[in-house]
Structure formats: structure tokens, C-alpha cells
Amino acid sequence: MVCLAILTINIGLLYLFLLMNGVEAYRGKVTIEEYPYLGSLRYRKKESELAGSGYICAATLIHNRVLITTAECIKGKKAEDILGAVGSTYLQGITTTSLVLGIAAFRCHGLYKRGVSSYNIGLAFTDEDTLPIKGKLGYVPIAMTKIRPFTKCVGIGWAADTDVLSTHPIALPNYSVSPKTCYRRTRTIEPHDCMCLHLCMHLENG
């Protein structure tokens, strides 16, 4: 099993480090080609009526058949009621590279407590394979070393700067906060997406 370390994800925001070749990202729309591991969890019933209408929270592909999200997102939900969606830039609609997957099981961190930012980590295991597709589907690299607080990162999600979901993911650069500060801020940014999750990526230092 992939080892998990620590940074920050919000239910609706994926936070990534800005250490890629020393170049900082800029605010604006991004695509699945840039972030092929960006995905979401959705309510099956709503998705059967309109693709994209069942959005619950962001999820990140970390391994074949494994999505990481927040424990808050999946706690108390039945796997059979939820779908995982990956391989598409747009929240609404289905593309030729989209994968909509049944969820076989959920697992929350054993030390997670509702309403607390620590250990707010959840895994969703899909029914089918999620094999890489160049430029469309990939696994986020996981850091094996501890990342210092206040490391700059970029927030990515379909609700990155508004309470209303965007059909296109947005990147917000230059986040530089500790997990506790992230927790407080994301409650303000996205009242409906209120928890922080910790995830580390391994990125090469410029």
C-alpha cells in the first residue's frame, strides 16, 4: 500500500506543491492534461439523472483502483451509493477519456474524529482498474518525506474560489499555510466543503 504523508487537500480543493522546476503556477483554469490525477466522488442516483449533478467532493487518484479524499467526505456513506469519476477536465458531461467507476469500499483513517482536521484522510477503492492513460489519467506522486508547514502550494478544484461549482477546475496559486490555518480558511472559502485532508506529493526541487 502506498505510504501517505502530509500536506493539505480540501474536500473540493486539491492542494499541490509549487516546487516544480522552481516555476510558480498562476491562477486560472486548468485541464486534466496538467493534473491527470484529479477526480471526484459523486452520488450515483443524481449522476444517473445528469452527469456532474452528483458531485460530493474532490478525490485524487494515487494508485490503481485507489482514490484519496477526506474522511469527512465518505464517513457514513455506503460505497454502493457512490461513484468515482476520473479522466475528465469538466465536471459535467462525459468525454472519451472519462471513467465513471463503482466504489467497492471506503476506508477512513483509524484516528479520524469528525470536526477535527488531523487524520482527515479517506480512501475509496474502485470496482475497476484505473490504469494510466497518457495526458488523461495518472497517479499523483506521493512524498516519502515530511513537508514543512507554510510550504507554498496551489489549490485546484471545481469550487476553488466560489461557493458555486464550476464545470471547469480552477487553480489558485501561492497557498502557504499550516494545516490548521487551511482548515479555518477552507471553511470560509467553501462552507459546503469544510474539511482539510493531508497529502504529500514528491516533486523535484528546481
Which domains does the chain show, CATH number per domain? 36-126 (2.40.10.10)
Give backbone dihedrals phi and psi of 188, rounded to 5 degrees, phi first.
-80, -45
Compare 158 and 89 and report the one with higher pLDDT.
89
Per-residue pLDDT for 8 more than 50?
Answer: no
Per-residue pLDDT for 129 more than 70?
Answer: yes
What pLDDT score does 80 carry?
A: 97
Share of the chain above pLDDT 70, in %: 61
The most confident of 99-113, 139-153, 170-184, 187-201, by mean pLDDT: 99-113
CA distance 110 to 154: 28
In this prediction, residues 20-28 reach a mean pLDDT of 48
What rounded mean pLDDT belongs to the chain?
Answer: 72
Give the tens place of pLDDT for each residue, 70-95.
Answer: 888 899 999 999 999 999 888 887 78
Give the tens place of pLDDT for each residue, 159-181.
Answer: 655 556 677 776 766 555 555 65
Per-residue pLDDT for 97 more than 90?
Answer: no
CA distance 153 to 134: 24
pTM: 0.73
What string of DSSP letters covers 78-95?
A: -GGGEEEEES-S-SSS--
Beta bridge pairs of residue 41: 57, 84
Band of the pLDDT at 158, cuts 50, 70, 90? confident
Give the tens place of pLDDT for each residue, 115-128.
Answer: 777 788 899 999 99
